Amino acid sequence: MAIRKVGVIGAGLMGHGIAQVAAQGGCEVIVCETQQGFLDKGLERIDKSLAKLAEKAKEKGQTFDPAAVRARIRGTLAKADLADCDLVVEAIVEDLEVKKALFAELGKIVKKDGIFASNTSSFPISEMAAVSGRADRFVGLHFFNPVQLMKLVEVVRTDKTNEDVVAQARAFGEACGKSPITCKDTPGFVVNRLLVPYMAEAMKLAERGDASIQDIDVAMKLGCGYPMGPFELTDYVGLDTTLSILQGWVKRYPNDPAFGIPKLLEAQVKEGKLGRKSGQGFYTWQGDKRV
């Protein structure tokens, strides 16, 4: 079965990008949100990104038709509209109980041979699969931020995932313009298992006053050739999302020294400083640009 019709749940930072790259890959896409305002904001982001990609393509003398891509995307507030999707990708808030409740509901709505995927950064795919009523047709499809530009997708298989479903998920990732890697259902999969403890360690370094936030970022950019330092990257990902990832791991693996919650991160989130999305995190942001 080829994946032609895709449902994306959540039109936030990740969901809008996943919807867009799926449409760029030729799929018909339905994006589902909880409120019209959030849906409109997500669709607006898609419009802006498509306009930017069209501008870039023109500069390079390439053809890119943003209107044709946009015509393949529609929004909805009703999960029932996802009933005949070949694939549903979930990209809602990083809260395991909320995600499980959603998949339990979707299991009753979406056609039985439809594939389910979660874009979770850190939670066990197997726990969401278990409540979905289709554990054999469930994978992790972990895209990276910003989805339109980052070339990787992690395809996460559980002990129960059907091999044919893994193959279809990889093919979908390729259609979205990504290079898929396959991995097991372990905390943080490949990238976040390495990246999130590194981000947390940078915060602990700053907390101790060993170096300033700005100097740590400069150090990692110039010393390692990373495009962003750990603080700018945390702002980019969202401080709330980063905190949720670490909280989940600390709860699940309390004795693992690799997972700890920096006080600095907790304090910033408590003050509503969530990073780029709220305009203020470790840095100040105006739209998508760091001030």
Q: Report the DSSP beta bridge partners of residue 87.
A: 6, 115
* Structure tokens, 42: 């997500």
Nearer to ligand CAA, 85 or 220 (CB): 220
The single residue among 20, 49, 120, 161 that binds ligand NAD, judged by CB under 6 A, is 120
Q: Provide CB contacts within 8 A for 230, sequence distance 6+.
A: 198, 199, 202, 203, 216, 217, 220
How many residues touch ligand NAD under the rule CB under 6 A: the total is 24
Q: Which of 191, 35, 73 is nearest to 12 (CA)?
A: 35
Site for ligand CAA in 152-181 (CB under 6 A): none
Q: How many C-alpha atoms does 270 have within 13 Å on its Cβ side?
A: 6
* Structure tokens, 54: 């069209």
247 interacts with ligand CAA by CB under 6 A: no
85 interacts with ligand NAD by CB under 6 A: no
Name the burial class of residue 179, with classes exposed (0-12), middle (13-18) and buried (19+) by CB atoms within 10 angstroms of its CB: exposed
The single residue among 3, 6, 8, 14 that binds ligand NAD, judged by CB under 6 A, is 14
Question: 27-46 mask for ligand NAD (x: CB under 6 A)?
Answer: -----xxx---x--------
Q: How many CB atoms lie within 10 A of CB 118?
A: 28
Active site residue 255: no
Site for ligand NAD in 179-238 (CB under 6 A): 237-238
Q: Report the DSSP beta bridge partners of residue 284.
A: 280
Say if CB 27 and CB 68 are below 8 A apart: no
52 interacts with ligand CAA by CB under 6 A: yes
Question: 182-211 mask for ligand CAA (x: CB under 6 A)?
Answer: ----------x--x----------------
The single residue among 5, 10, 39, 121 that binds ligand CAA, judged by CB under 6 A, is 121
227 interacts with ligand CAA by CB under 6 A: yes
Which of 121, 122, 132, 244 is an active site residue? 121
Active site residue 121: yes
Say if CB 265 and CB 239 are below 8 A apart: yes
| Residues marked as catalytic | 121, 142, 154, 192
Binding site for ligand NAD (CB under 6 A): 9-15, 32-34, 38, 91-94, 102, 119-121, 144-145, 237-238, 241
